[in-house]
Amino acid sequence: MSPQPQSVVSTPLDSLSYAAPSRIRAFLCPVGLVSRPRFLDFVSRLQDTAIIRLGDVTPDPRPERVMFSPQGFPDGFVVYNFVTAIDSHHAFLEDLELYRRTLAVFGLADYNNINDLTDLQVVIGALQAQHPQALIHKVILFDCPLGQSELPSVDFICVPPKRASRITSLRTTLCDLTSALLAELPLLAKAFQAADTIASPLARDDDYDSVMLTSSAAAHSRLSPAGSTGSLPSTINKDNRISYPLSHHTERQRMRRKGRSMKMIANMYLLAGRTFDALKEYNDALNVLKGVNDHLWHASSLEGIGICMVILAHIGVPFVIPNAVLPPVSPSSEKKELVQPQLLDLLPQMTSTILSLYNRSQNFPGESVPQITYAETILRTTNLLTCTTLAGGWTSAARTATVLSRPIPEVSIPYSQFHHAKMNVMNWISAAQAVRLDGVDAVDAARILTGIAAACGKLGYFRKRGFVLRQLVIELIPRIFQARQVAQNRKSRVPRSDVDDDEYWEDGRDVHVQPQDLDSGVLAVLSDICTVYGIPVDSTSEVSTFGWQEVKTSILKTCIGLCQVMPDFVGIVRYTSMLFRFSAEDLSVDEQLTLIRNLGNAYTAARSMGIQDFEQEYWDTYLVRNIAVVESSLWAVPTLVPLDAASSNRSDSSGPFIYNPFAKKGDEEGKKHLFVLDEPVEFKVILQNPFAFELDILTMSLVGTGTSFSSDVISLVVPPRKLYPASIYLTPTSTGVLNITGCRFQVLGCKETIVSITPTQAAITPPIRIKNFGLDARRSSMVKILSPTLVKHVSVEVVPALPVLRVNRISLPHSSLMLLEGERRRFVIALGNVSETVPATSISLKFTDSTTKSLSAALQEDFRSESDRYEIEMFLHKRAALRCVTDLNEVKVPANGEAEIEVEVLGKRGLTSACVEISYSNVFDSNLVLKEMYVRTLTLDINVTVNASIEVAGCDFVPFSYDMPMIRTIDGKATTTDILLKFLDQVGILFEEMDNYCLMLLDLRNSWPSQLAVELDSRTGANDIHTVKKVIQPGHLTRLLVPIRRISDIATSMPIPSLAPPKQFTRSAVKSLSGNGSRKSGLWSPEVERTVFWYREELLKVLDGRWTDDISATDGLRRGAVELRALRISPQMVDIIRVDDVVVDLSLAPSEYIRKSGKYHWIVEADSFLTLVASVTSHSTADSISGILRIQPTLRNLPASIALDINRRMLFNGILQMPVVDIKSGDTRRVETDFVVLVRGEYEFVASFEETTAGFGGKRYIGREKFVISVN
């Protein structure tokens, strides 16, 4: 049941307040069973009533105890400094500065938890034994319903429960306690007065209390040698202390002893609230001490006078400033009341005097000032000045703040005054900073530095405060380390140590933050430092451009250093990750390795201690540089195909526009990946590790938005300074759009973090415009590490489940076949469905072959004429090498099933390989009209060899003419006419209609090393097909005679069409050719080219050729088509084939004098009247034709000069040239001319029709056959 000293939260008065030496230190400790929050509640209740007016205190009636009777100064007050820890380090100072002594010990007990009050009696004894210096030892029973009389002893004080008690009841209790305390004080005073000697703190006296020799005093044995610090105070070695033996009392020493005891009494008056008496005693002591050059005590008395004056000023009681403290040359040295602003001027002056006295005391070994006293004196003055600065002068608020540590309300102060006052305080702060901390123990160093920091903070000098706190941290690191080692050594020897680490922090707590517990307190201080230097503590997504990089790095290292000696594992983890986040580039390889090792150790240690949620986010925001889909070889990637016409046109890559600036570029960004439901997809994640250590990633999984999916979770190690590709699988579990935004990571020692994809690491550019500067710029200089433009995501679309097909077999050996040109051959593809559940219900085929490329390339060439282009396009688009035979609508491949497809191949010149793309999908409802569909594609390559078969070597056309020369054959049996007639008979053409036909001479070569039978069809009428058959031996060239019906009614004016999809512009190749003279030569004019083109097309329509090979073929009959498009015709041939637009026919009107000997051959009698009928027939496509008919008679078989001399041989009624107008298309106009032949002989008539419709230079049509008259 012994009370344990405990470090607790409290709101104590500012221990560095100017008036702090006027407070009575009272130690509070829990007694019996008191829970921590209850105890803290009691403490805070007591602290609320820490100020007791002497007027409220009942004086002790005993006459020997009236020395400090409250009645002496009813306006005065006693202030309690309630502490919850014993400050045994400063016990040696208690004589000089009595306020450091614990004068009262109060045990706090919770009545509800006490079973037997008599047990507490033992506690009182224990308290007395533990704290012999204390004057009173009491136990306060909180929430005690009993009356005072019911308690067993006067040492128990009863406090009723909060609700039941009046507000003043606790105060009354304290008043009673104060009364008891004041009654005890005279005993102490007497003890001092009776003492033979009163030692200085650093002197060693024989009868000095043993508290001095506690462990804390050992720390003072390593004080720096005196005088080595120049103007700075220092202490002397403990071994050099001088004691004052009784037998050597001189007068001087007697006076010194007297002065010191007077000062002690003054101290007690001050504590007892009898300020007036204190002032007087101090003054007396001062005068005595001044005389004997006891500088230390003299200075201390002077300080006491200052405090007394401040307290009296606060109470508002007029007082006289003692002469001794007034400046010697001041004219106002008369004993008069100083007005208070002058007091404010006086106090710093006094402090200066005190400090110079302290400095002087250094010269006296054993009498020198302890550093803590020296520093605290400065800090107290600083505090006083800070209060007056903030309150805007020596106002009542400033006085209350100084004496009672009350907060100062905000006041507006003129800037220059404020600034001046601040600068003044700054001087004192500098003086405090100048105190060397070399010989001071950790607690004192912390106390001094935190005091400075607090003053800086109050003045708004946050950077200074940060600097001081940093110094504090740096000071503490080696000391804590040492203390830890000492403690550890001691722990190994002694079971329980009273030196705990916590003790080092007890005194530091009252300046900056009140730690709820140790760790958060340290972290809060460090966070505070970090914030000042521009390290954002709580934000991980932003980086501050504020601050000094070098300083930031150093601060973070310092923070880590402190956390390591503590050791505070949470802090290590936190600050190491911050260091990596902000300053990784400033760290050397060794540093990085050490840091990461320590981080790992701290992380493990913290976890083993059961600390939760302390991990930080991983420091590198750019961990994921890229995420890409890996194309699977197992699962074919589906594609989207449009099914309706509109969208199919649009999706055509060759669309109406040659160049569409809005078309999406086919790069990776625009490419949308398609995933299939329930099929795993591989992703390649590029991870970066710019650090010098291996990055241990415990878990990594993909993160995305959109539809649901399940990602693999993998763990990996990224090697140092590498971009490392990691492979991870993902399985989509529902359809829709899925955006992969990044990865979720757990790096060893870090929190689980989601990292976005950032392909490029942008430089962090601070905002250019300067809006504010200094510490105000902290907020505005936060820059987001990740700007949204940098973040990428991978968008994929998950489509419904699709089957997976495979080619089970193909009916071609080694997927290859040999064909002759023009031959067609079929083969069968057997498709198997690998999928267990999904049938392939929709299959479509697409073919590509090796000719496509060369033909497309040929099309691109500039010099091709339009008809050539048409020819190429024909082969490209119309003559497909492959064709599907099976009706694909009927083909379905069930799950795990098989289906067959038949494909036909055409032997096409240039075909070496072909590719069958089988697109398949699964359409559940066949009635559903889909706009687009997701398909998978299976590709099958086939090797094809095409050998030449029948080739067209050349062709010519011969007209059937009636005036063929009558040449007999060599044997004389037949004439050409006979042969012609026989041929015409064979092909079934009437001799009379012979001129409607012409003869095609077709040269065919057999390039195949086996004989081929050729059949050539020529359609001569609607139902008449004439077939020519011939067997061609290998390598032979054979001429076939094919009758062709002459062609009429062809609109040759139509442009040559293009089979390619329509384009935005079609550049006229013709124009470019005509513009270029050198190219034009050797080619025909556009009109001629068109004419030839259209007649050739017409010709090819009526021709059809086949060949068969029944000998060499091992696998049955080979048959194929003769490629007649190889035919080339010239304009001359066209003239033979075509029927003219206007046909002029001559005949004679029936008469008795004429006899017809041939179709165009008449025999007439001379001098007979004859009528020449010229019939003009229009076959033109134009509506009507007008022109001039000319008839030209000549003598037959004579040279032109004689032949035209016909005037005297023949008489015409009328003229031989006459206009014929408006002949409708298809009409025949007869023009009759009467004539008489005067001279016998043979005459030829040639009729011509010259078109005038189109103006001059119209087309001229001449009768094909010569009209001959033989005149007998």
Partner 1 sequence: MSFYLAIVGTKDNAVYDLEFGTYRQGGDGRPKFSADMKQLCPFIVHSSLDIVEEMQWNTNVMHLKVIDKFYNYLISSYMTAGNIKFLLLHETRADDVIRQFFVDLYDLYVKTLMSPFYSVDQPITSAVFDQRVKMLAKKYL
Binding site for partner 1 (CB under 8 A): 415-416, 419, 422-423, 426, 430, 433-434, 456, 460-464, 466-468, 470, 533-534, 545-551, 554, 766, 768, 770, 773-775, 777-778, 781
Nearer to partner 1, 423 or 1111 (CB): 423
Compute φ and ψ for 339, nearest 5 degrees.
Answer: -75, 155
Contact 589, 559 (CB under 8 A): no
Cα separation of 1094 and 1092, whole Å?
6
The set of residues, in sequence order, having a beta carbon less than 8 Å from that of 1201 and lying 6+ positions away, is none
Closest CB 357 distance from partner 1, rounded Å? 23
Closest CB 232 distance from partner 1, rounded Å? 9
Nearer to partner 1, 415 or 1065 (CB): 415
1257: left (phi over 0), alpha (psi -120 to 50) or beta: left
Nearer to partner 1, 554 or 1225 (CB): 554
Closest CB 764 distance from partner 1, rounded Å? 12
Q: Please confirm whether the linkage preceding 567 is cis (ω < 30° from 0).
A: yes
Nearer to partner 1, 89 or 557 (CB): 557
Nearer to partner 1, 545 or 735 (CB): 545
Closest CB 379 distance from partner 1, rounded Å? 18
Question: How does DSSP assign 916-945, residue by residue?
Answer: EEEEEE--S-TTS--SEEEEEEEEEEEEEE
CA-derived radius of gyration, the chain: 61
Closest CB 572 distance from partner 1, rounded Å? 21
The residue with tokens 């009558």 is 966
Closest CB 563 distance from partner 1, rounded Å? 19
Sign of the alpha-carbon torsion through 695, 697, 700, 703:
negative
Closest CB 454 distance from partner 1, rounded Å? 15
Nearer to partner 1, 288 or 437 (CB): 437
Compute φ and ψ for 591, nearest 5 degrees.
Answer: -60, -45
Compute φ and ψ for 462, nearest 5 degrees.
Answer: -75, -30
Nearer to partner 1, 473 or 994 (CB): 473
Closest CB 557 distance from partner 1, rounded Å? 10
The CA-based diameter of the chain, rounded to the nearest angstrom, is: 198
Question: How does DSSP assign 213-279, residue by residue?
Answer: GSHHHHHGGGPPPTTTTTTS-----GGG-----GGG--HHHHHHHHHHHHHHHHHHHHHHT-HHHHH
Closest CB 414 distance from partner 1, rounded Å? 12
Contact 905, 825 (CB under 8 A): yes
Cα separation of 113 and 116, whole Å?
9
Q: Which two tokens stand for residue 504?
A: 């080092």
Cα separation of 1246 and 1087, whole Å?
27
Compute φ and ψ for 778, nearest 5 degrees.
Answer: -60, -45
Nearer to partner 1, 461 or 920 (CB): 461
Closest CB 465 distance from partner 1, rounded Å? 9
Closest CB 546 distance from partner 1, rounded Å? 4
Closest CB 117 distance from partner 1, rounded Å? 57
Q: Which two tokens stand for residue 993?
A: 């209609």
SS (H, E, C) 1011-1061: CEEEEEEEECCCCCEEEEEEEECCCCEEEEEEEEECECCCCCCCCCCCCCC
Compute φ and ψ for 57, nearest 5 degrees.
Answer: -90, 135
Give the residue from 864, 888, 863, 889 showing the smallest Cα distance to 876.
864
Closest CB 858 distance from partner 1, rounded Å? 56
Closest CB 690 distance from partner 1, rounded Å? 21
Collapse the DSSP code of 830 into the 3-class scheme (helix H, G, I; strand E, B; otherwise coil) and give the result. strand
Contact 706, 732 (CB under 8 A): no
Nearer to partner 1, 440 or 882 (CB): 440
Cα separation of 1060 and 866, whole Å?
12
Cα separation of 812 and 131, whole Å?
110
Cα 856 to Cα 285, 377, 850, 882, 1030, distances in angstroms: 119, 100, 11, 17, 36
Closest CB 516 distance from partner 1, rounded Å? 29
Exposed, middle or buried, 745 (CB in 10 Å: 0-12/13-18/19+)?
Answer: buried
Nearer to partner 1, 545 or 1192 (CB): 545
Cα separation of 242 and 202, whole Å?
9
The set of residues, in sequence order, having a beta carbon less than 8 Å from that of 41 and lying 6+ positions away, is none
Nearer to partner 1, 170 or 777 (CB): 777
Closest CB 461 distance from partner 1, rounded Å? 4
Nearer to partner 1, 583 or 1018 (CB): 583
Closest CB 548 distance from partner 1, rounded Å? 5
Nearer to partner 1, 295 or 778 (CB): 778
Collapse the DSSP code of 290 into the 3-class scheme (helix H, G, I; strand E, B; otherwise coil) and give the result. helix
* DSSP one-letter code for 616: B
Cα separation of 536 and 617, whole Å?
14
Nearer to partner 1, 62 or 769 (CB): 769
Nearer to partner 1, 434 or 1100 (CB): 434
Closest CB 738 distance from partner 1, rounded Å? 42
Measured from the Cβ of residue 784, the count of other Cβ atoms closer than 10 Å reads 13
